[in-house]
């Protein structure tokens, strides 16, 4: 299997097996069009630090998928879930960069994992806490916000339960 060189926006090259690189649908589509033995794929929207983290995910998942004959599907799934749980325990800033890279590179499993990580961060938090956590600006006037709250009462159930505790 050939090796692919992925180049981050800051010029760092990462040599990765084609199998791991192809977890990215973006890279996979480029590889289908080109027939070179070694390919340099520039990734202008992903920095070196984030690309290393994405490649860690791709390499680990490829290795675990390859272990089909070694372990049962159930054991492999539990092992992958445990690894994913440790992998996604990163700072909010790093999680933001990971979700952006997963979207840009079209790595569905990583994007889903990152979205789950974000959901876990905001679950049970007040809108004010979420704004503070992600550096969001409150851009609604009081009447607009009240209207949104009234039309989305289902979303505030957890918030009210948290306030009681």
Is the per-residue pLDDT at 65 higher than 80? no
What is 3-122's CATH number, 2.40.10.120, 3.40.50.150, 2.30.30.90, 3.30.710.10?
Answer: 3.30.710.10
pLDDT tens, residue by residue, 90-120: 998 999 999 999 999 999 999 999 999 999 9
Using alpha carbons only, give the angle 20, 22, 24 rounded to the nearest 5 degrees: 105
The radius of gyration of the chain from alpha carbons, rounded to an integer in Å, stands at 20
Is the per-residue pLDDT at 157 higher than 70? no
Banded model confidence at residue 148, pLDDT cuts 50, 70, 90: confident
Domain boundaries, the chain: 3-122, 127-164
Is the per-residue pLDDT at 162 higher than 70? no
Q: What is the pLDDT of residue 47?
A: 96
Share of the chain above pLDDT 90, in %: 46
Would you state the structure tokens that stand for residue 120, as one six-digit string?
Answer: 């876990």
Is the per-residue pLDDT at 2 higher than 80? no
Which residues make Cβ contacts (< 8 Å) with residue 144, sequence separation at least 6?
A: none
Q: What is the pLDDT of residue 70?
A: 59
Banded model confidence at residue 152, pLDDT cuts 50, 70, 90: confident
Is the per-residue pLDDT at 160 higher than 60? no
Among candidate residues 82, 87, 110, 84, the one with its CA nearest the CA of residue 24: 110
């Amino acid at each position: 299997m050939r090796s692919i060189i992925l180049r981050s926006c800051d010029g760092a090259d990462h040599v990765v097996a084609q199998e791991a690189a192809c977890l990215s649908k973006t890279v996979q589509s480029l590889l289908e069009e080109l027939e070179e033995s070694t390919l340099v794929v520039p990734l202008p929207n992903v920095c070196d630090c984030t690309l290393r983290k994405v490649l860690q995910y791709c390499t680990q998942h490829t290795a675990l998928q390859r272990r089909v004959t070694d372990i049962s599907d159930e054991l492999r799934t539990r092992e992958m879930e445990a690894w994913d749980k440790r992998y996604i325990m990163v700072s909010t800033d790093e999680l933001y960069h990971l979700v952006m890279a997963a979207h840009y590179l079209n790595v569905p499993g990583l994007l889903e994992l990152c979205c789950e990580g974000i959901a876990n961060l905001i679950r049970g938090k007040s809108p004010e806490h979420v704004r503070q956590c992600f550096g969001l600006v409150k851009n609604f006037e009081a009447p607009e916000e009240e209207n949104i709250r009234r039309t989305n009462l289902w979303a505030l159930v957890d918030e009210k339960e948290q306030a009681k505790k």
